Amino acid sequence: MAEIITFRPKFKTPADNLAELIAHCRDNIALYEDQGGFGVDEWKTTHKRQQSIRFSIYDGGLTGKQFTPLPDPYALIAKSYVRYKQHLNESSAISVVIVGLQAVCEALIAVHRDADILKIDGLVQRKVVEILDTRYPGSDRLAKYGGGLVTFYEFLREKGVAPALPMWKRPGHWKRGKSKAERTDPESRKWQEKRCPSMQEMLCLADCFYLAEKPQDLYWSSVCTLLMFAPARGSEPFVLTLNCIGQETDGSYYVSWHSRKGFGATKKWVPTPMVEPVKEAVRRLTEISKPARDAVQFAYQNPGKFMRHPDCTTPAGFPEDKPLNFDQFCAAMNMPKTAKGKINRGLKETTAWNQLAIATKWVKKILDGGPITYRRLAALTLEKYKGNDGRLKKDWPNLPDTDRPIWESLLLIRDNEFHADIATKLFSWDLPDVNRLNDQLGKRVAPTLFERFGLKDENGGEIYMSSHQPRVWLSTQAERGGMDDWRLARWAGRVNLKDNRHYNMMTRAEYIEKSRAVLGLETAPTALEAAKMKLPVTYESLGIDRIGVAVPTLWGMCVFNFAESPCRKAGDCMLCKDHVCIKGLPNTLERLKLLENHVATSLTKAKDAAGSGIFGADRWVTHLGWKLAHISTQIKRLEDPNVPDGAVLLIPPAHDPSPVKRALEARGHNTDMDTDSPDKVELSELRKLMGF
């Protein structure tokens, strides 16, 4: 991993800090230096699918090779900022930063007639807003550009370049608009219909996995299967390892997954119907990836030694430093279909080399370095396949986002592995990315995965989708099934629960049907009905004579009166008389069984500790045993067929007396209520007195 080099200002004058910052970013940070560094006005990111970073003035949104560079001295701070920011965490979404830098440059010239960052002030900040408002009127992108400007201004203050620059925040009208999934305009409605695949299209994707026979189809259909058991981003399966499938003690299966966008490592639980398909997909990918894994492991563990493969024509024991002739080189590089097809085999050795160098640029480069040997080919192989992919180069020799070596990658293949006309490089390795997956599913490359099997949509048309659409479909199905937001976000690997709304493509008709189910009620719903319809569950529906609504928990509803005092149970709900379980409430029984297993495990450990004479362990045995008994009893009541759905189940009040009641009884007072007393006041009267 590249060394992180930070810059700390020495609190001299802004001009001195600026000069030191530029020198630091130009001389100490190597990122993009191989592309010309500060001497050029365009860089490309090191991602496999490179993104251009062009330091130019705004050209009206035109694209092309001709552009006008940013003027000096502003260009130096722009390049310094981008290089510093990218070397900390290289992003492919760099265009947001460039738009802001262009606007600041234009504002400096408009206000001060000089592209000098030392002259930036509040007037320039206001001019930037004016420029972007004119350039992108009413655009949702302004929210992103505003965020980029906040970061840039903070950078200038932090590095001492503009320490007096006013604090700036995004203008109020630069708000992020509603998600397209929530909009109701015709354009958004049309987008929503296309965004979520139909059931027919998803079944066709499953059919590809069933029908696959060729290695190319086996590979890509297996990758798609790993996107169909749980919502995931299309780039995430490519960092899976061989031992990614695991099983818990209760028999449930999961895939060890690394979700992007800050979520990190997690377990993606596999639904029971998808267990066997996921196992088969992993088996297929393990088999297909083996040659590539062997190649990269050999290259790493044997530096300076070229891996001999079946196409090599040199005899056993051929020295690593002995020059290769033309035929031996072509065989080692798996070039018979390319080089030999272009070059007359009757030519002399020197002429053949020269013609190959003319036809293939990289061959000319290696020939200029002297005689070609296996040792040089080994170095070339390691340099090319380690360095042509920014993901592999960054964490080499580990797989990105993991601490496992690249030769444990589940989805590793070889260069040209599935190419129809070019021979596979038997000594190579290659980690595909989401763009290659989208090529298999979309319109860019023909034939697609669906076209190779002749699969059509419900209207007989061709099927095209992106790798993100199975994620949308699964999220929508989860919303239809009533999955709660927290569980859905965890399942999908989303940090923010609010992001669920971007993937909910339920139709307008479905929302209307849900509304009718609520508005059509003639009587108050029961607690179970209200919970299933995601309505507030009132105390009255739970048999509690109090105004208000209950608080949902993992195992039921809390009816504790927080107006009297804070909760005294610290989340120990199953031992509280103010906690109710409702039979039929989704997920309640499963969660109680999971809690029962955890408490039983803790009880076993406490008993072992008590048997060893550890101080205080016996108290834990008493507490955990009491808790386990209540949990097990509630489970039996929920599983009892004689208990109707919707039944409200509480623990006996005597099992959880209040501190006040205990104190009164200790002093000999009677705490039982006399419900037949003539002094009893009706609840309706109390409400009337209180103004309800």
* pLDDT at 339 > cutoff 60: no
Distance CA 398, CA 403 (A): 6
Contact 547, 686 (CB under 8 A): no
Residue 681 pLDDT grade (very low, low, confident, very high; cuts 50, 70, 90): low
> Per-residue pLDDT tens for 185-224?
888 888 888 888 999 999 999 999 999 999 999 999 999 9
Contact 359, 342 (CB under 8 A): yes
* pLDDT at 606 > cutoff 90: yes
CA distances from 215 to 289, 392, 444, 464 (A): 10, 24, 21, 21
* pLDDT at 329 > cutoff 90: no
**Of 31-40, 386-395, 518-527, 655-664, which has the strongest mean pLDDT?**
31-40
Tell me if 387 is assigned to some domain. no
Contact 539, 549 (CB under 8 A): yes
Torsion sign across C-alpha atoms 119, 121, 125, 126: negative
* pLDDT at 607 > cutoff 80: yes
Torsion sign across C-alpha atoms 116, 119, 123, 125: positive
* pLDDT at 111 > cutoff 90: yes
The stretch 18-26 carries a mean pLDDT of 91
The stretch 644-651 carries a mean pLDDT of 89
Tell me if 444 is assigned to some domain. no
Dump the DSSP string for 347-402.
S-HHHHHHHHHHH-HHHHHHHTTSS-BHHHHHHHHHHHHHHSSHHHHHHTTBPTTS
What is the reported pLDDT for 676?
64
Contact 26, 43 (CB under 8 A): no
The count of residues in the chain is 692
Tell me if 618 is assigned to some domain. yes
Tally of structural domains, the chain: 2
Tell me if 476 is assigned to some domain. no
Higher pLDDT, 520 or 686: 520
Higher pLDDT, 19 or 91: 19
Tell me if 393 is assigned to some domain. no
What is the reported pLDDT for 48?
60
Q: Name the token pair of 368.
A: 């200029």
- Count Cα atoms within 13 angstroms, Cβ side, for 388: 13
Residue type, 499: D
Distance CA 504, CA 492 (A): 12
Distance CA 340, CA 356 (A): 9
Contact 504, 479 (CB under 8 A): yes
Residue 677 pLDDT grade (very low, low, confident, very high; cuts 50, 70, 90): low
* pLDDT at 242 > cutoff 60: yes
Tell me if 607 is assigned to some domain. yes
The stretch 268-280 carries a mean pLDDT of 94
Distance CA 469, CA 308 (A): 42
| Cα–Cα nearest to 554, from 578, 585, 600 | 585
Mean pLDDT of the chain: 86
What is the reported pLDDT for 1?
44
- For the chain, first and last CA: distance in Å? 66
Contacts made by residues 683-691, CB under 8 angstroms, sequence distance 24+: 683/545, 687/547
> Per-residue pLDDT tens for 138-157?
888 898 999 999 999 999 99
| Cα–Cα nearest to 406, from 236, 241, 245 | 241
> Which residues on neighbouring strands pair with residue 648, listed in sequence order?
582
Contact 157, 163 (CB under 8 A): yes
Tell me if 237 is assigned to some domain. no
* pLDDT at 354 > cutoff 70: yes
Q: Name the token pair of 260.
A: 């992007």
Distance CA 256, CA 277 (A): 16
The stretch 434-451 carries a mean pLDDT of 88
Contact 357, 363 (CB under 8 A): yes
The range of the structural domain enclosing residue 580 comes to 523-666
Provide Rg for the chain, Cα atoms: 33
> Per-residue pLDDT tens for 547-572?
889 999 989 999 988 887 888 888 88
Contacts made by residues 81-86, CB under 8 angstroms, sequence distance 24+: 81/25, 81/152, 81/155, 82/43, 82/53, 82/55, 83/25, 83/29, 83/31, 83/32, 84/7, 84/25, 84/29, 84/155, 85/151, 85/155, 86/31, 86/32, 86/45, 86/53
Quick one: what percent of the chain has pLDDT higher than 70? Answer: 91
Residue 691 pLDDT grade (very low, low, confident, very high; cuts 50, 70, 90): low
Tell me if 50 is assigned to some domain. yes
What is the reported pLDDT for 338?
46
* pLDDT at 337 > cutoff 50: no
Quick one: what percent of the chain has pLDDT higher than 90? Answer: 43
What is the reported pLDDT for 670?
79
* pLDDT at 527 > cutoff 90: no
The stretch 242-262 carries a mean pLDDT of 91
Higher pLDDT, 532 or 113: 113
